[in-house]
Structure 1
Amino acid sequence: MSALCDPPGAASPPRPPLSAQELSQEVKAFLSGLDPAQGTPLSPAAHARCALRLLRCLPPARHAALQHLRGLFDEQVCAHLLQREAPAAAAAAAKASPGAEALQEARRALAELVAANPRAWAPGVAAWASELMGQLSSKYAGRPGVPPAASLNELLQLWMACPATRALLDIYSQCLAAMAGSCPDACVDALLDTSVQHSPHFDWVVAHVGSSFPGTIISRVLSCGLKDFCAHGGGAGGEAAGADKRAPKIASVVGILGHLASRHAGSIKQELLRMFHESLGSPREHHKATVPFLLQLALMSPALLATVSAELVDSLKPPVLNQLHQHFSALPRDELEGVVGVVVHLLCHTSAGALRTLRFLLATAAPASVIAAPGPALHEGVREACERLLQLLLLHLQKLVHGRGSAGPADCPARPVPFLEALRPHVRELCQDALRLERRRRLWQHQLLALLAVHSAPHGAAEALFFLLALARTPEELALAPQLHAGLRAVLPDPLPAAVAAAVAQIHAGRLPEPQLAQLLRNLALLLQPRDADGEPGEPALGAALARHLPDLAQLLLHPRAEVAEAACRLLAACPLPRALPPAHLLPAVRAAVRRFFAGLRLGDAAALAPGVRLLARLSAVSPAAAKAVLAQLVEGALGGRDAELFGGGAAEPDGREAAPPPPANAAAASLLDDNRRFTAGPNAAGGVWSVFHAGVIGRGPKPAGGGGRRGAEELSRNTQTFLSLVLRCCRGSGPAVGAEAAKAVAAALVEAVCPEAAGAELAWPPEELARATVERDLRILRRFRQHPLLFPLLRLVAGGRPALCYCSVLLRGLLAGLVAHWDACRAGSTAASPWHLRASCALVALLAEGSLLPPVLGNMHELFPELAPFEVHLLLLSVWGYLRDNSPLPQKFTFQPELGVFRRDFGRDGDLGKHLAVLHSVLHRNIHRLGLLAARFYP
């Protein structure tokens, strides 16, 4: 380019015009190749200078002169390549060759001519230079040391280092620069013609010129390509599909713009959009062909379409769409169908801006009542055309997806559909759009989701189902997931297990926000709800898939957010449970379900509690082992820990002492000294051993209130009734009565919870001598019964499953011993002074009778207790103790009666009952004036 920067006459001063005689001699010398003076052959350099003189002085000889100069440039290119192949041998020859000087003279001469008269010289010289560069590039393309055409950068470096090709490139660039302000079409047209003939070897010229004149090249290349497209009959529709064969320059246009796209994508995009908008509403013939021309460019170069597609879609506002509709409304039907076919083909095979394009089509094709955006109204024909385009797009995608065939293990994978491939990362957004759109657009979006799921199977199908399940917020939205599943099952293996596995993986990874996680669990539970009175789950396949992940779902019952835990409970309550659960899966699920039940009970909401009750009942029905685990966990939770206060009980430490609750929130503001001053009559002195007993213990705060004082009696009664109903439901299983094995499990849990050190002790009733050694344990048992009012109802439930009450023998002994000791210590008082002990005595004798551990005659004596003195109650309880000592409560004394399905005990085999009734009859006789009406019940 250095020659273009110098003034035209700086390197070669102007020469005077030749005379006619001199001009004749020059012509003869040029044609003959001989020196006129000596008659010897002219050297190549002298011959070239002769051609240059004719070029300056004889315009009609310009074609012949330029044709002769081709040989000079060819010779110099060959010499340059030889020098690269053998640098040492060719360097000296290159210095001695006069061709290099002639080459520079030729470049200067052509530059002077173009600068002096651009309009006359620039088009021809540009065509000559571009054609010569194309011929040289093609001729030496296979030469050793010449890079392949694909290595554009290396090829550009090679030819730019060659003085001959560099000179030709400078000459062409000067011609283009000289004509850029007036009419550069001829220069650009020459570049296109050469590109058609010599591509891809000529691409390095296009790349360099385009980088030097991006604005001029881009606009003029497109303009020349459009003119050639129109000249060769390029039109809309089907003609555009084969226009590249009749309009050869369009391939060069695509190649040139493709080279420039990496560095000048913005300019290309701006020019393409300008051409598009300028063509709308224009009656000119070439403007009518602009849209088909641009479509043809897009067909041949997806990169150009990707460059412009995003802003093109954004620019399609209602005014532009209306103009576009008016532009194509005059076309014949077959041409219009051809244009639509080309657009559908482009959409299917283009990945750039797929999501944005889809949303534009859905929004534009929707009915007018849905889109209420302010601004110019959209022509109804635009909506109809866009709706037809969308339907054809879905139809074409369906053909591509289902026509690919299934690739076997030895086959090549099916070819991807670019449009669907671009939508694969946006499955979540597509599902959101499908759920939020109105009915008509939702149908289209649903069809597209099905195609995308099949295209990207198996993971795509599972992902689509998962997002539909997770994002749906109403029953109407949730119905889309079963619809999609039904369609996919017809063409794919069932994707539901993979969708459930994907959901569990998302939960484990913590990728779902807590509200969305709760919504997903609620949606799954809703799909599992029975559809009819038979109780069959709504989606059996979904239930089977969820049952495989029971341990993972059970962990959600312990989620810190109540909303998630409640939703997980509803899901598991509706989910079918496998009949054979390994203990490693069963026990954690039972523990979590029990904790969820107590959490629901603490909330006091019946609706929130019902799923937990249903879940535990279903878990207990899985197997006898599951029932035992559920009952044990329920009893343990109700009698220990912080949940005991739900039933009026207080938590107890292992040694039997009442455990203090956690310090209150305002513990820092409490003053133990102030509390002691209020409760003691002693001097107000801090410190000392007496200052810690009245109000509490240091570090634990004030003494806790009684367990029943924190909740109302109605609430305690309701909680107890709910708990006992659940335990009874788990004990009964599928039968009407309490099962003996289930009652035995409750008995074992009771012993473990109340007196764990006595678990597994002998069931036989010990004599008084041995009972004296268990006084401390008996007092502890009595204290636990007083702390937990729930123990007596649980023992009555155990008594209903004979002979399970025998396994609570250690508790019954301890409670009876404690009551006997109490009544023995307060003989002179009244039974009304000990209301709890009186109720406990009555309840103990009643449940002993209900569990068939006492005969009916002795079992009815609790009706007398409220009317007797404490010493009389003491004597009667000693009679009970004596009977149980002589007739130990052992399961072997019960026999099963198949006709009734229950265990019975025959008290006639226990020997003489009279000695145990003597005290009872004596007490009756002493109080006959008050108990005479009841006396008949105590005589066998």
Structure 2
Amino acid sequence: PLVSAWAVDLLGQLSSKHAGRRVAPHSSSLNELLQLWMSCAATRSLMEAYSQCLAAMLAWCPDACVDALLDTSVKHSPHFDWVVAHIGSAFPGTIISRVLACGLKDFCSHGVKDQGLLVEKGSRVPKIGSVVGILGHLAAHHSESIRKELLRMFQESLTPSTPLSPTSSSTSWESSPQLRRAAVPFLLQLAAMSPNLFGAVSAELVELLRPSLLLQLQALLQGLPREELDNMMGLAVHLISQSPSGGARVLRFLADTATPASVIISGPTPSPHEGVREGCDRLLQMLLLHLHKLVFNRSDGADSSPLNSASSQPQRVIPFLEELRSHVSQLCAETLRLERKRHLWLHQLLCLLSVYGGPSVATETFCQLLTQARNPEELALAWQLHTTLSSCMAGLIQAGVAHCVAQIHTHTLGPRQLRQLLLNLAAAIQSQEEGKRGAGGSQSSMAVQVGSAVSGHLHDFCALLLHGDAAVSHAAVRLLSCSPLPRTSSPAHLLLLSRAAVTHFFLSLQRRGEVGKVGRDGGQAYESVNYSVQLLSRFAAYSPLTLKAILQQLVEGALHRGNAGLFGGQIADMSGAPVASPSVTADLGASLLDINCRFGTTVNFSGSVWSVFHAGVIGKGLKVRTAAQVLDPSGVTQNIQTLLAVVVKCCSSSGFITSRSPSDPDELLPINAEAAKVVAVTLVENVCPDVANGELSWPPEEHARTTVERDIHIRRCFETHPVLFPLLHVVAAGRPALCYCSAVLRGLLATLLAHWEASREASSTDSPWHLQASCLLVSCMGEGQLLPPVLANVHEAFPLLTPFEVRLLLLAVWEYVRGNGPLPQKFVFNSDKGLFLRDFSRDGDVARYVAPIHSVLHKNIDRLGHLCWRFQL
């Protein structure tokens, strides 16, 4: 004991005496000071002698040895800290607890009231600086021991006084109520002065704060004066805001504990005590207020705007918010749970985090809220975020939509997230109509901004119309059907939009049919069709280019073999027989070149004009007839009506000519002649490309013998595609567009004349398809004013006549059209009706064409007497 007391006293005197020398480093840098003193042989010998004495004495009087060391430390502090640090490295288990106890006693003796919110105020307590330095030096190799001792001191200060165990290294502070009350403030001050010590315990501190320990902490803090308690709360807020790690866990703990007991709290933590909950509520409010001050006062310059100051000088880092930048998605998910008070705190924190992180974090946050919101209440949080940030951050909605588009291109979002994002954008745009009807002006303004942002990316969203997930495709068409169209757009984007919209239209028809077959609730499928019709009509009205593209693709799509079944069409070969599926047709393995060589040498082609009709597979005999596909009549009718509705809407809302508005809101606008011409030309090109851009005038009926093969092909097209007649009626309504279908009408009428001439049936009703085709053809020509009314009514008598008589009436129709060609120049625009009309009085006497009709009427007066008035000139 004498040698150790002498050695430690001499070391203290030397440290204090030579501390002021210029070569000696400052007492705060313990590592440099320790290296300097240990390089001296005299002080190194004294240190070795003291260490040997201390090692021998710790076995039977550890408290006396450490007390002597710490007494000397207090006497010569802070110049003696290097000795304590070196001894602590040799005996960490003994020194660490004694150093903390000594610092606690010194902290308590100076009064807890001397602590403040700022770290610099801790220098008022002389010994706490030494404790920080010593423990900081030991933390390099003994951080685990320091962490355990700090947590033990925290727990021991809260537990009730109990007899100490024999193994406990008693420092007598546990038995003093005053020291126990001062332990928590002391640890807070210690953590504030040393980020390393705070980081060592912060990771496990949250796990220790169970309800029982929280109640004990509350009981301890209730006895403190209000000023002291406020200082402690402020110091705790300062520590949390400067915490470089574990911020997300601390935030979750505070939010869970401060959430009212009536709300179901996530996780295994039970409902806290009301006093604990109020304390955490107050701490969380103070934390948000402190972060608000830090965020908006980060720049030391005169400019307080976060965006402007960011460009002028570097900003001060806030570790707590810096760590939360990587947890934006989780914070948004917690905010959208809409738990009472909790979502308000988290939403305020998201606003602060967005301002702190700048446009990138704000955009990410806004995009996450748009993607994760599942109802209008949750979506309103995104608009609240925009309202809060709009004063300091312009263009947030545009940047958010652009960020969402980038995520779509990189396939970051799953189908469910993508669907929800599209539905939320659509809901935002549709809220503009509610704003016009009297809702909030700010929400209407944001809806306009969302619509403007989406309209700039329509070509990006249109690809989602063809998404493999039906729900995503439905959400995409809903968004595009309500989003405003851009003022200008490139032709490439317009054609891309048109093709995607038309393709989605046919896909939605197929999905509606599949839902109907299995008997499921097809609400979404039916909505998808309606949205698709609305989208096509809006695109068609945008520009002449989109109108032409959409009408062409609608007609081509309806006649495409992949969609023919939707409209009752049958895929047939040249002979008119249904084509078997590839799986049914066997591979014949025949060489087409060899067969054609033999076929060409064995057939004698005499004459000038010849045609070859293949009735089977060369080398294999006649084709096996396959059963025609059974179609659902109601589904086919519904699909045809839907197709006609969208074609009529596109033709009526076209932008070629703005005709008069109808007086009745339910009355449809007249079909535009130019739009109907597009349908007519496309129909002719798909039915028979050979006659496209051909002569419109009709030759004599005998001339049809030279175009038999082409006419049969036209008739087979009408047989396999029932949708052609309804499309012809649409064309006929847009007079004079039916004139451009002259070649197709002529070919079809020629085959019908040949059929009725060769028919030996007793009544025309024995050939149902030909009778229906004859009636529809004459009706269509009458609608298009290619025939005068007296000839346009002849189809009403067809079901009551014989095949020969039907041929006589059709022949009269042919002769009239041949004599009065179907030319567009014969039509004059009537501004009162907004239609093109034809004056048949200029075509000469119609009586000579009506004579066969009157003859048939007189012969069948018993059956046709009621129709005589329809054929009067």
- TM-score bracket, shorter-length normalisation: 0.7 to 0.9
Shift of 1:131: 6.0
Aligned to 1:752: 685
CA contact (8 A) 2:19 2:79 kept: no
Q: Which residue of 2 aligns with 1:266?
A: 144
Helix, strand or coil: the match of 2:336? helix
TM-score, normalization: structure 2? Answer: 0.83
Q: Is the 8 A contact 2:89 2:138 kept in 1?
A: yes
Residue correspondence of structure 1 range 142-291 to structure 2 within 5 A:
166-181=44-59, 182-183=62-63, 184-188=66-70, 190=72, 196-197=78-79, 209-235=87-113, 238=116, 244-280=122-158, 281=160, 284-291=177-184
User: Once the 2 structures are TM-superposed, how far is the Cα of residue 487 of structure 1 from its aligned partner?
Assistant: 1.6
Q: Structure 1: which amino acid aligns with 2:188?
A: L
The 1-side partners of 2:740 and 2:402 are apart by: 45
TM-superposed CA distance for 1:336, in Å, is: 1.1
Whether 2:826 is the aligned partner of 1:826: answer no
Partner secondary structure for residue 289 of structure 1: helix
From the superposition, tell whether residues 616 and 836 of structure 1 become closer, same or farther in structure 2 (CA, over 3 Å).
same
1:795 offset after TM fit, Å? Answer: 0.8
1:481 and 1:558 mapped to 2: Cα distance?
Answer: 28
Which range moved further: 273-282 or 248-257? Answer: 248-257
Q: Report what 1:724 is aligned to.
A: 644
Letter in structure 2 aligned against 1:615: L
The one of 267, 273, 285 aligned to 1:391:
285
Kindly state the Cα deviation for residue 813 of structure 1 after the two structures are TM-superposed: 1.8
- Structure-2 change in CA distance of 1:894 and 1:671 (3 Å): closer
SS at match of 2:487: coil
SS in 2 for 1:852: coil
Contact kept in structure 1, 2:698 and 2:818, CA below 8 Å: yes
Structure 1 residue 390: Cα displacement: 1.1
Match of 2:347 in 1: 446
* Structure with the greater alpha carbon radius of gyration: 1
CA distance in 2, matches of 1:795, 1:688: 37
- Matched to 2:641, the amino acid is Q
Aligned to 1:623: 543
Partner amino acid, structure 2, of 1:752: E
* Shift of residue 159, structure 1, vs aligned partner: 7.6
Does structure 2 retain, via aligned residues, the 8 Å contact 1:130–1:190? Answer: yes
Aligned-partner Cα distance in 1 for 2:156–2:327: 34
Quick one: distance in 2 between partners of 1:445 and 1:775? 79
Name which of structure 1's ranges 163-172 and 315-324 shifts more when overlaid on structure 2: 163-172
Deviation of the 1:120 alpha carbon? 2.9
Q: 1:574 Cα deviation (Å)?
A: 2.1
1:479 to 369, 380, 394: 380
> Is this contact kept in 2: 1:755–1:781, CA < 8 A?
yes
Aligned residues: 786
Secondary structure of the structure 2 residue equivalent to 1:903: strand
The 8 Å contact of residues 827 and 839 in structure 2, kept in 1 or not, is answered as: yes
Q: Mark the CA change 1:918 to 1:245 in structure 2 (over 3 Å): closer, same or farther.
A: same
Deviation for aligned residue 1:774: 3.0
Aligned AA for 2:137? H
> Relative to structure 1, is the Cα distance of residues 491 and 374 closer, same or farther in structure 2, using a 3 angstrom cutoff?
closer
Question: Which residue in 2 is equivalent to 1:694?
Answer: 624
1:275 Cα offset (Å): 0.8
In the TM superposition, what is the alpha-carbon distance from 1:192 to its structure 2 partner?
A: 7.4
- For residues 733-781 of structure 1, the C-alpha deviation after alignment (integer angstroms, 9 at most, x for no partner) is 1852111122122212212332234333333334557644432222111
Please give the alpha-carbon distance, in whole angstroms, between the structure 1 residues aligned to 2:704 and 2:618: 40
Query: Quick check: 1:763–1:806 contact (8 Å CA) kept in 2?
Result: yes
Equivalent residues in 2 for 1:674-685, closer than 5 Å: none
Contact kept in structure 2, 1:828 and 1:870, CA below 8 Å: yes
Is the CA contact 1:236–1:289 (under 8 Å) kept in the aligned structure 2? no
Q: Quick check: 1:764 aligned with 2:697?
A: yes
Amino acid at match of 1:714: S
The whole-number CA distance in structure 2 between the counterparts of 1:375 and 1:788 is 68
Of 231-240 and 309-318, more deviation after overlay is shown by: 231-240
Q: For residues 558-583 of structure 1, give each alpha carbon's deviation from its aligned partner in whole angstroms, at most 9, with x where no partner exists.
A: 11111111111111122122233322
Amino acid at match of 1:934: L
Structure 1 residue 473: Cα displacement: 2.2
User: Which residue number in structure 2 is paired with residue 76 of structure 1?
Assistant: none
Is contact 2:701–2:750 with CA below 8 Å preserved after alignment?
A: no
SS in 1 for 2:78: helix
Q: CA deviation at 1:302?
A: 2.0
| 1:134-145 correspondence to structure 2 within 5 Å | 141=23
Q: Could you tell me how far 1:403 is from its partner in structure 2? A: 2.4
d(CA) in 2 for partners of 1:534 and 1:622?
Answer: 23
Q: In structure 1, what is the Cα distance between the partners aligned to 2:85 and 2:696?
A: 101
Matches of 2:768 and 2:578 in 1, distance apart?
25
* Offset at residue 547 of structure 1 (A): 1.2
**Cα separation, partners in 2 of 1:831 and 1:360, compared to 1, 3 Å:** same
Matched, 1:381 2:289: no
2:203 matched residue in structure 1: 310
1:75-114 pair list within 5 angstroms:
none
Cα deviation per residue 1:13-56 (whole Å; 9 max; x = unaligned)? xxxxxxxxxxxxxxxxxxxxxxxxxxxxxxxxxxxxxxxxxxxx
State whether residues 554 and 592 of structure 1, in contact with CA within 8 Å, keep that contact through their aligned partners in structure 2.
yes
The 3 A distance-change label for structure 1 pair 834 and 522 is same
Specify which of 802, 809, 817 is matched with residue 869 of structure 1: 802
Query: Hey, what does 2:515 align to over in structure 1?
Result: none
Alpha-carbon distance change, 375 to 908 in structure 1, aligned in 2, over 3 angstroms? closer
* Alpha-carbon distance between aligned partners in 1 of 2:372 and 2:434, rounded to the nearest angstrom: 26
Structure 2 contact 733–783 (Cα < 8 Å) conserved: yes
- 2:151 partner SS: helix
Residue 562 of structure 2 corresponds to 642
Q: 1:220-242 deviations in whole A, cap 9, x for unaligned?
A: 32222222222333447538866
Q: Give the counterpart letter for 1:598 in structure 2.
A: F
CA RMSD for the aligned pairs?
3.3
CA gap 1:639/1:425 in 2 versus in 1, 3 angstroms: same
**Structure 2 counterpart of 1:553:** 461
Could you list the runs of 5+ residues in structure 2 that have no partner in the other structure? 162-175, 299-303, 438-443, 513-521, 589-616, 655-660, 662-668
Residues 1:772 and 1:692: Cα distance change in structure 2 (over 3 Å): closer
- State the match for 1:633 in structure 2: 553
Secondary structure of the structure 2 residue equivalent to 1:442: helix
CA distance in 2, matches of 1:211, 1:394: 41
- What amino acid sits opposite 1:468 in the alignment? L
Partner of residue 796, structure 1: 729
Report what 2:861 is aligned to.
Answer: 928
Q: Do the aligned partners of 1:656 and 1:784 also contact (CA within 8 Å) in 2?
A: no
Quick one: which of 842, 853, 856 aligns to 1:909? 842
Cα shift readout 1:653-710 (whole Å, capped 9, x = no counterpart):
7x7977747556xx79x999xxxxxxxxxxxxxx995588326xxxxxxx4x435x23
Which stretch shows the higher mean deviation, 898-907 or 278-287? 278-287
Is the 8 Å Cα contact of residues 12 and 80 (structure 2) preserved in structure 1? no
Residues 1:410 and 1:488: Cα distance change in structure 2 (over 3 Å): closer
TM-aligned CA distance change 1:873 to 1:192, over 3 Å: farther
Aligned to 1:523: 424
The verdict on how the C-alpha distance between 1:296 and 1:476 changes in structure 2, with shifts beyond 3 A counting, is same
Report if aligned partners of 1:471, 1:520 keep a CA contact under 8 Å in 2: yes
Structure 1: gaps spanning 5 or more residues:
1-118, 673-686, 696-702
Question: Quick one: which amino acid aligns to residue 694 of structure 1?
Answer: V
Tell me the residue number matched to 1:500: 401
Does the Cα contact within 8 Å between 2:537 and 2:650 map onto a contact in 1? yes
Call closer, same or farther: CA 1:908–1:356 in 2, change over 3 Å.
same
Contact 1:141/1:148 (8 A) holds in 2: no
1:319 paired residue among 212, 215, 238: 212
1:162 Cα deviation after fit: 6.9
| Superposition deviation, residue 624 in structure 1 | 2.6
Of residues 580, 592, 597, the one that matches 2:500 is 592
TM superposition shift of 1:408? 4.4
Higher mean alpha-carbon deviation, 510-519 vs 872-881, is at 872-881
For 1:904, what is the secondary structure of its paired residue?
strand
Correspondence list, 1:784-863, <5 A = 784-827=717-760, 830-863=763-796
Q: TM-score, normalised by structure 1?
A: 0.77
In structure 2, give the amino acid aligned to 1:554.
C
